[in-house]
Chain A
Amino acid sequence: MAEAWGRRGFLGLAGAAGLAAVTGCGADSGAGGGAGSGAAAQPKQGGRLRAVYAGGGAKEVLDPHVQSLFVDIARHKAMYEKLVELGPDLKPVPRLASKWDHDGTATTWRFTLRDATFHDGGNLVAEDVLYSLSRIVDPAVPERVAQSSLATLDLKRSKAIGPATVELVLTAPNAEFPALLAGIGTQIVRNGFKDPSKPVGTGAFRYVSFEAGRSMIASRYDDYWDEPARIEELHILSADAEARANAVQGGQAEYANDMTATFARTAEAGKTVRIVAAKASTMQAFVMKVDQPPFDNPDVRLAFKLLADRQRLVDVVLAGRGEVGNDLFGKGYQYYPAGLPQRERDVDRAKALLAKAGLIGKQVEIFTADASAGFVEAATLFAEQVAEAGVRLKVSTGSPQTYAKDLLTKGAIGNHRSGAMTIPQYFTDRLLSQSPFNVTHWRRPAFDSAFAAARAVTSEQERSAKYGVLQKTLRDEGGILAWGLPDYLVAVSAKVQGVQAVPPNTLDQGRFDKVWLA
């Protein structure tokens, strides 16, 4: 399933330090309204906002169904919308679909469409939705990223019930279906949309120009259904971390995405730039392959979890900008079992477990690469911590560009980072026998079927309890040693207001129609 929406993550806190906007984030129950508009200051109209993201050169695309980079996601978000989006806790919230319902078994779903218009003046109707979905799942174009997550969608049996109601049928029950419609690359395009270089969406900004690797320019769409944007013109630009830092400090950009902790420290010392930190919103972990020695022994997995000095890893590798992890993904998200105790360091117990496994004095190799900030540093520091129990962890470094793929096959233990996605999505991508990115090789048929059963439960409370049991199993027996939950950092120039710190791939992240320039 599509992984891109997990590349980097964000979790909700209010944007501006001085703004009492926190209240605005309060999660309305499932079908609630949009984002909090908690405005302490009076929003101003007009102006141009330049936002800089990590670029992808020629890799950048205008086709909303082919997006894989953060910069693409931001650009498409300005022009296109989805039926459903995710709230700050990664719970589905309505967008182009104002509400939805299912047949009682979570197999046949009906979505009611909002009264929205496309940039060419046409009204949003059920046919647009059906066309968009058929374009996404077209097997001839594997780059359409939501293809695998929507694999159970049965388009032949899906149909329009009226202009504003669409019925979507699944081949298997799935209570998480609305969340899947909020995934990466699920934007609604106009019926018959063929040429991605001429974007026509329902979003708050209409297309002006695009140059891959450089910029996209869009202007305010005055007939936007959800209150037209405050800013007049939006530029979404591409640049690497160094240039992003210089641009936002030098006044050439007003918003810089994905900044380092080092930059945050410098920036906070000055007055020109403010840091919007989404607390503990991504995950840094070591992943152990449960089918490879020595980690095929559950005692060794537990021993390694007990050896991690999580606070020190957070302090050193994340420069203190983050929280310690509890060997699970998704803290703060819907379905996260908050009641589990925090795993603490226990060298003596770890030693006993390792002695029992006969691993004391032996060497284990950790496979890492400079693929993501802090990977090599974390591996090196962890090696010191493991050494205290008498096991030598040898750090071996691979190629950064191919690391994500190499990790699937190389090394018994390595680094893993994940951003925001729903917890069921994380399971589907990484923890089932057939998962394409199962980096811990966690393959248990009983776990798979328990997950499928949980996903089909229509009562949210019951479903949550079932997911909770699976997560406890993972925390105790699984191969994920989630040591840290880094903050996600965005830098904005002092005059930018209304930026909310929520996980990426959620509604209010990179949402420039709600931002204004003071």
Chain B
Amino acid sequence: MRLLAVPYAVQRTLLAVVQLAVLSVLVFVLTSLLPGDAAELRFTETLTPEQVAGLRIELGLDRPAPERFVHWLGDVLTGDLGTSLISGGPVAGIVRHSIGATLVLTLATLAVVVPLAVALGIVMGTRENGRIDRAITSVTLALSAIPDFVIAVVLVAVFSLKLGWLPATWIGGDLLSSPALLILPIAVLFGRTVCLLSRQVRAGTVAALNAEYITQARRLGVPRRRLLLRHVLPNAAVPGVQELARTGDTLLGGVLVVEAIFAIPGFATALVDGVETRDIPTVQGLTLVLAVAALLINLAADLTCNRLVPRTALLR
């Protein structure tokens, strides 16, 4: 069975590479469709049309799009993400600069969400349709139904502006000296992700508990605790792990909103700035890094499931 996992991993990796190639073309085409270019938008009210034309030549924006794409791709393949049209600095620098805040935010959220969601999922699954199950379901469903920005605005209004307990934005603060900066953003992202994840763990738990091998194990007198930890949890975790990968994607969407509201100088902020100024190399570089991250997470999730319950791989 182990031997089979290797070609599966190779297969999955190849698929990821193809996905990446398609994605980079898509990003390029879509950003090209945006009205205006970097030369125009950079100094839209300060430069004369003639000066903008000169700037466009300087930035290489006068060359045809396919040529620019090939040029960019060539650079990326040699490990060079290119140069920002706006700041003139390397895109890799922008990536390095902005990735920290986003990474901290995402990992910290996961660190809170995952154990909680797994615990909640098991509690719900083992008490299927009981009072506790229904109560937790209602609360988490309600949380996930409220848009992020609404939760954010309410939390800021209450805990920052009214009570003054927590900082409302990251403006003028840094994480090392005030870790409290993380609390509200995590609370917002928590509401978004905890529901789906705990639902999946719950479903997995219910399915596992009803499986014949559990019934058999019970009949053999395996203690309940051991039953849950050794037999139910690994099976219940499979949909959970896959959901976790999707949670990563969801989180990235949520981070976009959260970074804007709390003025967090992270990836999403850099990406939005890049789009607004039509800084295509920056948008491409950031998207590429995000895409690689998403692909890696999904790849890891699939391979992990493959290890947890090998038969899922065989069935594919």
**A-to-B contact residues, CB < 8 Å:** 2-4, 6-7, 50, 52, 55-59, 68, 142-143, 145, 148, 184, 211-215, 235, 237, 239-240, 242-244, 246-247, 249-253, 399, 401-402, 404-405, 436-437
Contact = CB atoms under 8 A, between A and B. Distances in A.
B171 A399 contact: no
B163 to A, nearest CB: 11
A437 B44 CA distance: 10
Given A57-B273, A148-B48, A240 B55 contact: no
Interface in B265-282: 265, 269-270, 272-274, 276-279, 282
Contact of A2 (B46, B49, B260): B46
Contacts of B265: 213-214
Contacts of A59: 42, 86-87, 273, 277
Given A57-B270, A213-B269, A404-B44, A142 B172 contact: no
Interface stretch (B10-18, B33-41, B195-203, B223-231): B33-41
Contacts of A50: 171-172
Interface string B155-172: 010001100100111011
A43 B279 CA distance: 45
Closest 9 A/B residue pairs (Cβ): A57-B273, A250-B168, A243-B263, A246-B168, A402-B36, A58-B87, A142-B51, A247-B171, A436-B48
21 contacts: A2-B46, A3-B46, A57-B269, A57-B274, A57-B277, A142-B55, A148-B48, A213-B269, A242-B260, A243-B171, A243-B260, A244-B171, A246-B168, A246-B263, A247-B172, A250-B168, A401-B36, A402-B35, A402-B41, A404-B44, A436-B48
A247 B273 contact: no
Given A246-B156, A252-B169, A437-B45, 19 more contacts: A52-B171, A55-B273, A57-B270, A57-B277, A58-B282, A68-B46, A237-B171, A240-B260, A246-B161, A246-B168, A246-B263, A247-B171, A247-B172, A247-B263, A250-B169, A252-B173, A401-B35, A402-B40, A402-B44
A213 B268 CA distance: 13
B276 to A, nearest CB: 6
Interface in B43-64: 43-49, 51, 54-55
Given A50-B172, A213-B273, A402-B40, A58 B45 contact: no
Contacts of B40: 402, 405
B47 A142 contact: yes
A243 B262 contact: yes
Q: Describe A's contact surface by its main secondary structure.
A: loop
B116 interface: no
Contacts of B171: 50, 52, 237, 239, 243-244, 247, 252-253
Interface in B134-174: 156, 160-161, 164, 167-169, 171-173
Most buried by A among B89, B263, B279: B263
B242 interface: no
A58 B160 CA distance: 29
B276 A401 contact: yes
A16 B193 CA distance: 46
B261 interface: yes
Given A2-B46, A239-B169, A401 B160 contact: no
Contact of A399 (B35, B161, B167, B169): B35
Contact of B169 (A4, A243, A437): A243
B185 to A, nearest CB: 12
